[in-house]
C-alpha cells in the first residue's frame, strides 16, 4: 500500500515537473539560428591556433549543443543554410539566405532570427538583409574572430549575445543588428576594421548599444531607412544586376576600369582616395564608362568620413553618383539592390542619401 502511494506521489511530481518545463518553454521566445559557416564554425589544430584554422567545419546543431545556456534565453533551433567561408559566398547565396530569413520572419511562432556568418563579408550580408527583409522582428548577424577550439575563443559569447538580442522585445524595429565583442552594431554602419583582434567590428558612428551579462543597454537608434521602411523587398527580387569595384591608388592605371566597363556590368563603384578622389588620368575612362550606359558611383577607400557630392569631381556634370558614407563593398550592395528598380542617376543618388 505504501509502495503504491509512493509511486502515485512520484508520478504526480513528475507530471508537475513536466508541466512546469512545458510552461517555461512556452513562455520563452522562439529563435531560429541560420548557419552559413565561417570562423564561428571553425576549428584549429590546437588551442593556440587563433589565426590559423579551417573555417566552416562545425555544424549548427553542434554549435547549439555546446551552449546549454541558450535554453534559458529562448527556444532555439538551427538550420544549416550554407557551410562555407564567407569570402566564397555569392550573390545567389545572398538571395537564398535573405529569402529564408524573410519566410521565417513571416511565421507567427518565430520571434527572432540569428545568422552565424564568417567575418570577412559579414558586413555585406548584414547590409543586404537591412535593405531587403521587411520585418520588425530582430535579425542578428554574428560571427567570431577565433575558432571555438582556440584559447579565449569569442564565438560562444558572441552567439549567446546574438540569441539574447534576437529574443528581446527591445530589439524590435531597430533593423538588422550585429553582435560582436559585447557590442550591438547597426548592420548598415558596421565594418570589419582589423583581422586579428576580437574587437574587429566598428562603426564610425558608434555602436547602438552593449550586452552585459544577458542584458541589453541601448544608446542610439539607426536613422537611415531599413527593413520595414525600405522600398526594396526580397520577396520580389529574383536576380541582382552585376556591379563591380575598381580601387584608386597612387599610380593607378585605367586597366581595371576599361576591362570592367566592357564586361556587361550595370554599375561601377570607384573606391577612390580621400574624398572619393579620382586620378586625373582616369577621369576620361570613367566618363566613357558612363557614356556607355554604366552607372559610375564615387566611393572612398578611407575607413571613416563620407564623400561630398560635387567636391573633388563635378558629379552633376559627369552624371555620377556619390556613395555618401558607404565604403566600396557596401556601396556595391546598395547599388545592386537599388538597380533592381531603377538606373536613373537622380533616383540612385536619392537612394544613397536615404539608405
The three-point CA angle 189-245-270 to 5° equals 85
Catalytic annotation, pick one of 36, 119, 149, 345: 119
Q: Where are the alpha helices (DSSP H) in the chain?
A: 2-27, 60-65, 91-105, 122-132, 155-166, 255-261, 283-291, 315-318, 328-338, 345-354
33-to-41, 67, 141, 206 alpha-carbon distances in Å: 13, 13, 10, 26
Residues making up the chain, counted from first to last: 355
d(C-alpha 78, C-alpha 168), whole Å: 18
Three-state SS at 334: helix
Please answer whether residues 151 and 188 qualify as being in contact, where contact means their C-beta atoms are separated by less than 8 angstroms.
Answer: no
299 known member of a binding site: no
The rounded distance, in Å, linking the Cα atoms of 286 and 289 is 5
Per-position DSSP letters for 157-169, written without gaps between them: HHHHHHHHHHT-G
Residues 36, 39, 198, 345: which is the catalytic one? 39
- Answer yes or no: is 119 a known binding residue: yes
Instruction: Collect all residues with Cβ–Cβ distance below 8 Å to 49 and sequence separation of at least 6.
Output: 147, 149, 150
- 119 catalytically annotated: yes
Q: Does 39 qualify as catalytic in the annotation?
A: yes
User: φ and ψ at 212, to 5 degrees?
Assistant: -130, 115
132 known member of a binding site = no
**Cβ contact 142:117 at 8 Å:** yes
Binding residues for substrate: 86, 119-120
Question: What are the catalytic residues?
Answer: 39, 119
Show binding-site residues: 86, 119-120
Amino acid at each position: 500500500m505504501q509502495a503504491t502511494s509512493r509511486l502515485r506521489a512520484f508520478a504526480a511530481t513528475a507530471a508537475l515537473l513536466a508541466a512546469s518545463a512545458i510552461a517555461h518553454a512556452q513562455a520563452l521566445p522562439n529563435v531560429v539560428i541560420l548557419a552559413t559557416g565561417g570562423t564561428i564554425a571553425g576549428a584549429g589544430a590546437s588551442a593556440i591556433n587563433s589565426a590559423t584554422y579551417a573555417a566552416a567545419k562545425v555544424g549548427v546543431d553542434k554549435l547549439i549543443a555546446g551552449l546549454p545556456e541558450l535554453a534559458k534565453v529562448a527556444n532555439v533551433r538551427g538550420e544549416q543554410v550554407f557551410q562555407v567561408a564567407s569570402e566564397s559566398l555569392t550573390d545567389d547565396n545572398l538571395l537564398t539566405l535573405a529569402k529564408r530569413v524573410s519566410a521565417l520572419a513571416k511565421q507567427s511562432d518565430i520571434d527572432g532570427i540569428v545568422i552565424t556568418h564568417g567575418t570577412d563579408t559579414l558586413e555585406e550580408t548584414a547590409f543586404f538583409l537591412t535593405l531587403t527583409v521587411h520585418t520588425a522582428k530582430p535579425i542578428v548577424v554574428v560571427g567570431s574572430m577565433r575558432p571555438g577550439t582556440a584559447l579565449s575563443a569569442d564565438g560562444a559569447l558572441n552567439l549567446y549575445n546574438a540569441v539574447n538580442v534576437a529574443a528581446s522585445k527591445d530589439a524590435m524595429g531597430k533593423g538588422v543588428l550585429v553582435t560582436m565583442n559585447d557590442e550591438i552594431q547597426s548592420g548598415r554602419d558596421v565594418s570589419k576594421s582589423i583581422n586579428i583582434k576580437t574587437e574587429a567590428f566598428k562603426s564610425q558612428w558608434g555602436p547602438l548599444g552593449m550586452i552585459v551579462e544577458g542584458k541589453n543597454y541601448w544608446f542610439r537608434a539607426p536613422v537611415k531607412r531599413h527593413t520595414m521602411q525600405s522600398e526594396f523587398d526580397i520577396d520580389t527580387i529574383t536576380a541582382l544586376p552585376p556591379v563591380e569595384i575598381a580601387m584608386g591608388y597612387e599610380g593607378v592605371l585605367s586597366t581595371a576600369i576599361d576591362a570592367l566597363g566592357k564586361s556587361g556590368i550595370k554599375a561601377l563603384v570607384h573606391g577612390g582616395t580621400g574624398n572619393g578622389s579620382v586620378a586625373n588620368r582616369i577621369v576620361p575612362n570613367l566618363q566613357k564608362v558612363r557614356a556607355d550606359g554604366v552607372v559610375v558611383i564615387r566611393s572612398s577607400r578611407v575607413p571613416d568620413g563620407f564623400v561630398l557630392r560635387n567636391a573633388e569631381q563635378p558629379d552633376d556634370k559627369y552624371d555620377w553618383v556619390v556613395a555618401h558614407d558607404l565604403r566600396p563593398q557596401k556601396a556595391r550592395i546598395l547599388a545592386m539592390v537599388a538597380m533592381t528598380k531603377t538606373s536613373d542617376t537622380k533616383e540612385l543618388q536619392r537612394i544613397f542619401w536615404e539608405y
